[in-house]
Structure 1
Amino acid sequence: MPVAKLIATVNQMLPPSPNNIGFIGGIRTRPHDDVGVRPYIKRGTSVMSLDPAVINGLFALGGVLAGAIPAVVAACFKERSESRRHLRDQALKVALEAWRVRLERQMAVQPLEHQVIYSTLLAQLASENRLTPDRVKARLNDISAIVDVMAKHSASKVARS
């Protein structure tokens, strides 16, 4: 028995519906004399048959999207990590230069590690989005607290030596 006849027989066993529309395997179908039964999309009162070329095009579009979306997400993460790495490199250069200048001028020199951490924290502050005066004050207080803890730790380390 050809598939079209089988589907027509099953549709005849179903209760009648408008426009002679049946359900086969969860897909709405409509009988056609030339090709048997085709899937369709019903819009309002008109019925639009889906041509096999349209279905193939939709699957191709889905395949393109399935392949492109992960690549775009990976590129965004890569750009973000490169931006952070560049920021850390710039903070390190600034810290080294500031430490060198203080050493040349014989000013009070804090350990290089402290200068690097301080510069990195300030660079992160400068790169934050949506800066407001209150957020900057709070963040600077946090940075000062971190630097104070590092200074106390260094002082206790020197006292033990």
Structure 2
Amino acid sequence: MKKIFIVFAAVFLFSALAEAYSIDIRLDSVYFDNSTTTNLSNYIGKKPTLVMFFYPDCDPCQKEAYVIDRVYSYFRDKVQIVGISLSRDRYDIGDFIKEHHVKYPVWRIHSRSDLKSIGGILATPTVVIINKQGKIVAKFIGKRSFSCLKQILTNLVEGVR
């Protein structure tokens, strides 16, 4: 019985460790003249990462874009920030970027089935914060204040969390 428990504990531990590095979301360029693709995993691991999932015509998402832009300007080279549109409509995404003066990189989701690697998205905006080790440390649904996001990211940058 002890051996079975040890095996289950080991499997659980290794799956938990693997989960920290298994964020696999394929992304497509939002621009018509660019067929670039990437993966969210390319942004993870060097520094803390903030990801905002949004729909371009979502009012709370539009308000959150300004907050995320402030976070982007404040942390510059210390935090990786990425916007991911759940809409595939390049016109809507382009209008969103222009109207809200978005400075951080924005991509289109390649397939919504990829979202299961972060536990899915129930509503937008959803902000996911990932530490340098690739583990999700926070996931917020709805608008968050600059000070809330700043506090979490400052702790990650300083190695507190």
TM-score normalised by structure 1 residue count: 0.27
Q: Comparing both structures, which one devotes a greater share of its residues to strand?
A: 2
Q: Comparing both structures, which one devotes a greater share of its residues to helix?
A: 1
RCO comparison, higher one (Cα < 8 Å, 6+) = 2
TM-score normalised by structure 2 residue count: 0.27
Structure of higher CA gyration radius: 1
